[in-house]
């Protein structure tokens, strides 16, 4: 398939005797938003942790742009072009909003420089501000991150992931814990992102997922249950049985 960005081949993960994932083979093309859904405990987060390098799969292979990622330490994944946000807000609380993003931007260029003055590295400041503008946080740039509202922290989370200009952006429940207003803002942001980037999204809010995604992958008990366009997923009887039926009230 042309334009293939990421391919997972028979990915499996065990924690002791517990099988979290088994035989996941799936590939993602460049330039579209794909959602990964599934009931709690389906293995979505484990799969995400493997894709971002936080966990090493017990079996299977991961290819990104034709390169095998197995064995690469987590911090190298960003350098390959894979960046992620977290389900539980994961920012640098005592740094300014701007510095949160700037420090992420600098990871790809000048990590170990102890000599230059970072205030003068103008390009990094500009990139950080551009990422903050993209998520609508530029006006908050000088505040400490811990003083932002929950929704703003979720947006900052995405700015941190975005500033490395990743080819693949992994978003783990970006609307977790958000009210309806904040969720609306986040959906608008995701729509803008999906125009220009390859995004993988883990979400619970079903209507939102089906509206946003070009393609939906369903996991259940650590296995791939279904894979297809939102309409196919919506009408898939297996998916309805394990997932949709119980969450029709959501979103």
State yes or no: residue 141 binds other proteins (CB under 8 A). Answer: yes
Nearer to other proteins, 1 or 119 (CB): 119
Report whether 157 contacts 86 (CB < 8 A).
Answer: yes
Closest CB 133 distance from other proteins, rounded Å? 7
Nearer to other proteins, 19 or 108 (CB): 108
Nearer to other proteins, 104 or 239 (CB): 104
| Rounded alpha-carbon distances, angstroms, from residue 81 to 77, 174, 197, 216 | 7, 20, 12, 22
State yes or no: residue 128 binds other proteins (CB under 8 A). Answer: yes
How many other CB atoms sit within 10 Å of the CB of residue 232? 13
| x/- track of binding to other proteins for residues 32-71 (CB under 8 A) | --------------------x-x-----------------
DSSP letter for each residue of 204-246: S-HHHHHHH-SEEEEEETTEEEEEE-HHHHHH-HHHHHHTGGG
Residue reference for tokens 């249950």: 225
| x/- track of binding to other proteins for residues 82-121 (CB under 8 A) | -xx-x---xxxxxxx-xx--xxx-xxx-xxxxxxxxxx-x
Residue reference for tokens 């807000």: 89
Q: What residues from 6 to 35 belong to the interface with other proteins (CB under 8 A)?
A: none
Closest CB 14 distance from other proteins, rounded Å? 22
**Chain contacts with other proteins (rule: CB under 8 A):** 52, 54, 73-79, 83-84, 86, 90-96, 98-99, 102-104, 106-108, 110-119, 121-122, 125-126, 128-129, 133, 138, 141-144, 160, 164
């Amino acid at each position: 398939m042309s334009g293939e960005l990421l391919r997972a081949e028979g990915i499996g993960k065990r924690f002791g005797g517990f099988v979290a994932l088994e035989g996941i083979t799936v590939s993602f093309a460049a330039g579209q938003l794909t959602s990964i859904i599934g009931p709690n405990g389906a293995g979505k987060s484990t799969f995400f942790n493997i894709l971002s390098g936080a966990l090493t799969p017990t079996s299977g292979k991961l290819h990104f742009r034709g390169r095998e990622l197995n064995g690469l330490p987590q911090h190298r994944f960003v350098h390959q072009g894979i960046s992620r946000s977290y389900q539980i807000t994961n920012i640098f609380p005592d740094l300014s909003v701007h510095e949160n993003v700037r420090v992420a931007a600098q990871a790809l260029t000048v990590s170990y420089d102890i000599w230059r003055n970072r205030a003068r590295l103008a390009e990094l400041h500009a990139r950080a501000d551009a990422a903050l503008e993209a998520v609508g946080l530029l006006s908050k740039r000088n505040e400490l991150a811990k003083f932002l509202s929950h929704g703003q922290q979720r947006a900052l989370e995405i700015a941190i992931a975005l500033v490395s200009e990743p080819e693949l952006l992994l978003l783990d429940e970006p609307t977790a814990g958000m009210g309806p207003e904040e969720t609306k803002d986040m959906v608008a942001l995701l729509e803008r992102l999906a125009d220009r980037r390859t995004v993988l999204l883990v979400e619970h809010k079903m209507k939102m997922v089906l509206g946003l995604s070009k393609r939906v992958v369903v996991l259940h008990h650590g296995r791939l249950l279904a894979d297809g366009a939102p309409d196919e997923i919506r009408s898939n009887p297996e998916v309805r049985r394990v997932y949709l039926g119980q969450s029709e009230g959501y979103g």
